[in-house]
Amino acid sequence: MAKEFNVPPVKFPSGGNPAGGAAGPQQRRLPTVPFQPPRSANPSIPFMSFDVNSAAASTSFSTPQFPSTISAGGATGFEDEPPLLEELGINTKQIYQKTISILNPYRINAHLHEDADLSGPFLFLMAFGLFQLLAGKFHFGIILGWVTMASLFLYVVFNMLAGKNGNLDLYRCLSLIGYCILPIVILSAVSLFVPQGGTVILVLMGLFVIWSTRVCTRLLVELASYGDEHRGLIAYACFLIYMLFSLLVIF
């Protein structure tokens, strides 16, 4: 005789049989996409929607596009820019012409020195100091200091002689003394090959000092007003200045 077991009846949530019944098959609930509002929500709210395709397009990196043409009024090329020496105010052609005029003491063109500059004198003073350095003398500071004091000395002397009518300014005076020191620079270069303390170097010193004195005196007389009346005193002041620089070469 088989043993019977009391099995409790199975109750489903819908109250019907899963295989079928009066209530019909159970309706399955479809899953919803994440971050989507329920269907019963108001679809007029735009910030509650999420589009996967638009998000992928926004996160993709694209190559930036630049305009291929530049307007004519924009940036200019390097060909239109002035040279560097011209931007610094250094006129090499003018320096060359002034140097040639100084080398010939009998044909001095005073009109070339009407535009005063310090580029040429600075080059001559550096060359003077370099030749002195080759001779074993470090005189860069002395040369620059003496040129400044000599310009002040000549400026004061000339304006005292000319009085209120004197038109020689300190800048022009410094430019003239710097250019006329070129014979002393040549003397310092020649002294490297000449025995020191001999008669030859003394004779050369006298010739180059007279050369510098003549050139500087003539330029001052022609470029400054009322200079012709005091030519002798101006020449004496220039002679003292260039004799002082020649002593650096000898001693």
Closest CA to 208 of 234, 251, 237, 243: 243
Domain ranges, residue 178: 92-250
Angle, alpha carbons 33-34-36 (nearest 5°): 75
Which pLDDT does position 193 carry in this prediction? 94
Q: Is 37 domain-assigned?
A: no
CA–CA dist 104, 46 (Å, integer): 93
Q: Is 245 domain-assigned?
A: yes
Tell me the pLDDT band of 31, cut-offs 50, 70 and 90.
Answer: low
Give the model confidence (pLDDT) of 141-179 as tens digits.
Answer: 999 999 999 999 999 998 888 877 778 899 999 999 999
Which pLDDT does position 73 carry in this prediction? 47
Give the number of domains in the chain: 1
Give the model confidence (pLDDT) of 86-121 as tens digits.
Answer: 677 788 999 999 999 999 888 888 899 998 999 999
Across the chain, mean pLDDT equals 79
Tell me the pLDDT band of 183, cut-offs 50, 70 and 90.
Answer: very high
Q: Is 52 domain-assigned?
A: no
Q: Is 57 domain-assigned?
A: no
Q: Is 208 domain-assigned?
A: yes
pLDDT at 46 over 90: no
Q: Is 101 domain-assigned?
A: yes
Q: Is 141 domain-assigned?
A: yes
- DSSP code string of 195-233: -TTSHHHHHHHHHHHHHHHHHHHHHHHHHSTT-GGGHHH
Which residues are paired to 197 by β-bridges? none
Q: Across residues 83-87, what is the average pLDDT? A: 72
pLDDT at 74 over 50: no
Q: Hey, what are 51's tokens?
A: 């589009």
- Cβ atoms within 10 Å of 242's Cβ, excluding its own: 25
Q: Is 227 domain-assigned?
A: yes
Give the model confidence (pLDDT) of 221-232 as tens digits.
Answer: 998 877 788 899
pTM above 0.85, yes or no: no
Phi-psi region of 221 (alpha: psi -120 to 50; beta: other; left: phi over 0): alpha
